[in-house]
Structure 1
Amino acid sequence: MLSPDLAYNIERMKLEFLNCSDIMYRNCSIGGLDRATLIYVDGMCDVLAVDEFVLQPLFEHFRSSSRVDEEARKVELKDIFIPSLKISMAYETQQVIQAILRGETAVFTEGNAFVLLADLVKMEKRAIEEATSEKVVRGPRDAFMESLRTNTSLLRRRIRSSSLKLECMKLGRLTETEVVIAYMEGVVKEDLVKEVRSRLQKIELDGIIHSSNIEEYIEDNVFSPFPQIQNTERPDVAVSSLLEGKVVIITDNTPFVLILPMTYWSGLQAVDDYTDRYIYATFVRWIRYTFVHISLLLPSLYVALTTYHLQVIPTPLVVSIASAREGVPLPAVIEALIMEFIFEGLREAGIRLPQQVGPAVSIAGALVIGQAVVAAGIISTPMVIIVSLTGIASFAFPVYNLGTAYRMLRFPLLVAAGVLGFYGIVLFLIVLSVHMVTLRPFGVPYMAPYAPMSIRNLSDVLVRAPKSKMRWLLPWLAQGRTARFPKQTK
């Protein structure tokens, strides 16, 4: 509880904020006596507004005020500030501390066992910029940023309906990070919202620094290589997911939001699929699916064919491969593993290096190393071609996390192909398919709408049907209203 003694309250605050050089104390003195003290965090509030809208009214008030009872002083103090200034009252020390750390200005006054909290928060933030990880040819150019309220406003600007609910909670014992659960009431299943809320409330961490801290704590199977929660920095992707009955989690200080639950097919859908004409979008989607399978299977197929199944390859091609491999001391599976390892290392180096030199190092490194290992006779030319094609194909994934899953799975699949040939590949794919079918993030089948089958939801999987035909929401997500729009008649 706060005390009416101003000096006592300020002393408690100074002990609480000991060695905190960013905590500012401003005294309001009349006739040599301290009548009020303002406390705020330097850099988190508008200092000019504090002087104009808080300190100046306080000076004028104390020059003309008279001693009255405490309840009258409460009303009198609140009335001295301009009506547009958001003022709240606090009676507990911890409540005041949390408000100060949020960026509010605390006004302590002599003789009052309460504190006025002025919302004059002003923190530096970058402007809304274009998404860097999800480029589009045609579509909105804005992206989420580190400000929570800016991010929620990007959603509200697109969905001007009271059905869009934004529930706020705080996670992290020390960081007190604000997290918003966004969903469309009447579209999303209530059980899904309850489950998300329950899992978030069970998180007990000292700090939530990034949305990824939340992701691993609430997903169903942390040992699966496949992502079960999608992350995006594009507001239009988040809005589309909300309208489908999914839940979006927005974390303060993070430009990426979480979308859940994620299905396998949603991880292969790009924004351009819905901004281009459906014929071209379907064509590009088929190309993407082809490259997705190439990124996983091509090195393993090459190893299996050249090691165990040469009879399947046309004779001229066998002769060409054999001549290229002449003098290479390593078996094909070891070649592939070495080259894949080098390629992943170059990719990682390109990410970690400064933006100005990263891409150049990746490209130059791949060219130099590829030419050097072939010239030295360590790796064959066909293997360099195979790994290069695989690397290019791995960039076709719209969702980065799904691409990383495929990149990791290439290595055990290569080992299976090197040991058992085609049989190893088939066995590995069977085990992988069973695993994917059994995944049910937040109760939604990961392979829906193919497993289990939902005929009317196939209009946006292998093909992108005309938008007038894409009526139905996934039954595992939608509550009550399972159609996007009424049936149209011409």
Structure 2
Amino acid sequence: MRKLLKPKKTSKKVITSDETKKPIQADIMDNIEILQELFKDCTDIVFRPFIAGKVKAYLVFVDGFIDSLSVEMHGLRQLIEEIERERLTIDVLKERVISISSIAETTELDEAISNVLKANTVLFVDGMRKAIIFDAKGGERRSVAEPQTESAVRGPREGFNERLRVNTALVRHKIRSNRLKILSKEIGEETQTGIAILYVEGLAPPELVKEVLARLDRIKVDGVLESGYIEEFIEDSPWSMFPQIQNTERPDTVAANLLEGRVAVIIDGTPFVLVMPATFWQFFQASEDYYGRYHISAFLRLLRVGFLFIALTLPGIYVAVTTYHQEMIPTSLLFSIAASREAIPFPMFVEVLIMELSFEALREAGVRLPQVVGQAVGIIGGLVVGQAAVEAGIVSAPTVIAVSMTGIASFTIPRFNMSISIRMLRFPLMILGGMFGLFGVVLGTLIILTHLCKLRSFGIPYFWPLAPLSFQALKDVFIRVPWWAMNDRPNQFVKRDSLRQTEHLQPSPPEGNEEGSPT
């Protein structure tokens, strides 16, 4: 029975960067000793030694990152057979032994170390000055499932997960064209997080792609654990409260944006993909707007825009009107509000502020608790707190109604990052309404609109197509016109190949039947 190869006892020395940058040595133990000292106290790094005939070899990989059966069937078994035949060369290893499709070789030790940490398997063979790198990734990871934050009544049910190559494959499945380009980079000195930059050649402006790559290259940080890290580093106005980059869990949303000339960035370890540039109105569009009847989509979009103003300004207007402009309230309603506030000890502003903060706290608690319990806290808790506050004489019933309508309105915004921005901005408007009445609310709204008009996302005006005005692009903002009427791609993004369809495809009734009824 053959004994497994035992590594030599190494002295306790610190491995310097110069030692890891040297070429791979012909003596296998010179390489393994450096790796074992470098990965000292890393119990998840596996050094698998074996020997057949007169040849020694080592497999090095991270436990839990690889598929052991794949390594056994497609590499280890054939390797031992070839070693016993004593005809082992680097070409034989690549062409006959390791049957896994993704395979490479390296002569540098630091590159081999880097690939071990990237969840690849590295093979060292005694007498060879090269190492074989092959992809046998496996382990337990979350499978493709329905998106959790972007549910839809109609449309695809698959969403991104935490694996980079699974996510790029989901997009490639949507856009099966050689014009879809996928570039790879790594960010993070310690995490070495893999990212992929996606764009459609000929649709995405070259200057946009260069700008995205330049901003990513400027990131020098120790680690990237989620796409939010990168978003904060590359956005145009980091002090703005409004999101300037869209994030999504849906492959169909990414594919649709790529076909409009945008760029997507997929980050390993997170299901949230970044899409840039983004405009303000983009955050009020849901994916299923494009899958249902355009009449329904137009109605829902107008509903969202209307409730946007309610979510932003209703508390401020309510405080301003009841405090300074009672003459604007119908007499019967004014008497009802006055009667309900007769026993309330707080001013109107304090009353609304208490209820707004309470509802925000309940909403946050519902998110952080387990899903089933969180739903109960969000719904029942709101009802109980509101009713108890009215009965205790802390707030009035009209205030509870106004705050509830504001909360419902904020839920109509499809994108969470825009919804939370609107929810936060209503507090300054409440303060201005409490101090200056409707004049304060109007002033605050004008400041917000001015800020929106000044913002840019990778050089694109944030409030486009309203500022600057583009009638052609308004077909897909407040409403959605039929697909056969959207001939052109957004002209702010695509300068060439701007036609979605080569001819006007409006349906027409059959000849001799102008009403379109069956003959």
Q: Secondary structure of 2:112's match? A: helix
2:66 matches 1:50: no
2:189 matches 1:166: no
Q: Secondary structure of 1:448's match? A: coil
Structure 2 counterpart of 1:15: 37
Q: Secondary structure of 2:30's match? A: helix
Query: So what's the TM-score if we normalise by structure 1?
Result: 0.95
Query: So what's the TM-score if we normalise by structure 2?
Result: 0.90
Q: How does 1:319-398 map to 2 (within 5 A)?
A: 319-398=335-414
Q: Structure 1 residue 464: deviation in Å?
A: 1.5
2:424 matches 1:403: no
Q: Hey, what's the Cα distance between the residues in 2 that align with 1:80 and 1:461?
A: 57
Q: Hey, what's the Cα distance between the residues in 1 that align with 2:499 and 2:93?
A: 55
Contact 1:27 1:34 in 2 (8 A): no
Sort the Cα spacing of 1:239 and 1:18 in 2 relative to 1 into closer, same or farther, 3 A: same
Structure 1 counterpart of 2:323: 307
Contact 1:449 1:474 in 2 (8 A): no
Q: Hey, what's the Cα distance between the residues in 1 that align with 2:477 and 2:396?
A: 38
Q: Given residue 475 of structure 1, which amino acid in structure 2 is its aligned partner?
A: N
Q: Structure 1 residue 58: deviation in Å?
A: 2.9
Q: How does 1:285-304 map to 2 (within 5 A)?
A: 285-304=301-320
**Among candidates 113, 123, 126, match of residue 129 of structure 2:** 113
Q: Hey, what's the Cα distance between the residues in 2 that align with 1:79 and 1:282?
A: 58
Stretches of structure 1 that go unaligned for 5 or more consecutive residues are 67-71
CA-to-aligned-CA distance 1:197-239 (integer Å, 9 cap, x gap): 1000100111110001100000000111111101010111111
Structure 2 counterpart of 1:475: 491
2:162 matches 1:141: no
Q: Secondary structure of 1:116's match? A: strand
Q: Structure 1 residue 16: deviation in Å?
A: 1.0
Q: Hey, what's the Cα distance between the residues in 2 that align with 1:126 and 1:475?
A: 39
Q: Given residue 179 of structure 1, which amino acid in structure 2 is its aligned partner?
A: I
Sort the Cα spacing of 1:324 and 1:85 in 2 relative to 1 into closer, same or farther, 3 A: closer
Q: How does 1:49-128 map to 2 (within 5 A)?
A: 49-65=70-86, 73-128=89-144
Q: How does 1:144-155 map to 2 (within 5 A)?
A: 144-155=160-171
* Higher alpha-carbon deviation: 110-119 or 127-136: 110-119
Q: Structure 1 residue 52: deviation in Å?
A: 3.1
Sort the Cα spacing of 1:389 and 1:489 in 2 relative to 1 into closer, same or farther, 3 A: closer
CA-to-aligned-CA distance 1:357-377 (integer Å, 9 cap, x gap): 011012222122112221121
Contact 2:75 2:99 in 1 (8 A): no
Q: Given residue 478 of structure 1, which amino acid in structure 2 is its aligned partner?
A: V
**Among candidates 219, 228, 239, match of residue 212 of structure 1:** 228
Q: Secondary structure of 2:225's match? A: coil
Q: Structure 1 residue 82: deviation in Å?
A: 4.8
Q: Structure 1 residue 20: deviation in Å?
A: 0.9
Structure 2 counterpart of 1:4: 26
Contact 1:219 1:441 in 2 (8 A): yes
Q: Given residue 230 of structure 1, which amino acid in structure 2 is its aligned partner?
A: Q
* Higher alpha-carbon deviation: 81-90 or 316-325: 81-90
Q: Hey, what's the Cα distance between the residues in 1 that align with 2:243 and 2:43?
A: 42
Q: Hey, what's the Cα distance between the residues in 2 that align with 1:232 and 1:180?
A: 15
Q: Structure 1 residue 80: deviation in Å?
A: 4.4
Q: Hey, what's the Cα distance between the residues in 2 that align with 1:232 and 1:342?
A: 29
Sort the Cα spacing of 1:78 and 1:279 in 2 relative to 1 into closer, same or farther, 3 A: closer
Contact 2:485 2:504 in 1 (8 A): no
Sort the Cα spacing of 1:346 and 1:276 in 2 relative to 1 into closer, same or farther, 3 A: same
Contact 1:263 1:445 in 2 (8 A): yes
Q: Structure 1 residue 13: deviation in Å?
A: 1.0
Q: Hey, what's the Cα distance between the residues in 2 that align with 1:103 and 1:489?
A: 49
* Higher alpha-carbon deviation: 87-96 or 161-170: 87-96
Q: Structure 1 residue 489: deviation in Å?
A: 6.7
CA-to-aligned-CA distance 1:316-373 (integer Å, 9 cap, x gap): 1111111011021111111111111111000000000111201101222212211222
Q: Hey, what's the Cα distance between the residues in 2 that align with 1:147 and 1:112?
A: 33
Sort the Cα spacing of 1:87 and 1:149 in 2 relative to 1 into closer, same or farther, 3 A: closer
Q: Structure 1 residue 148: deviation in Å?
A: 0.9
Sort the Cα spacing of 1:190 and 1:86 in 2 relative to 1 into closer, same or farther, 3 A: closer
Contact 2:59 2:122 in 1 (8 A): yes
Q: Structure 1 residue 481: deviation in Å?
A: 2.3
Aligned length: 484
Contact 2:66 2:139 in 1 (8 A): yes
Q: Hey, what's the Cα distance between the residues in 1 that align with 2:443 and 2:150?
A: 34
Contact 2:74 2:99 in 1 (8 A): no
Structure 2 counterpart of 1:41: 62
Q: Given residue 294 of structure 1, which amino acid in structure 2 is its aligned partner?
A: I
Q: Hey, what's the Cα distance between the residues in 2 that align with 1:168 and 1:77?
A: 27
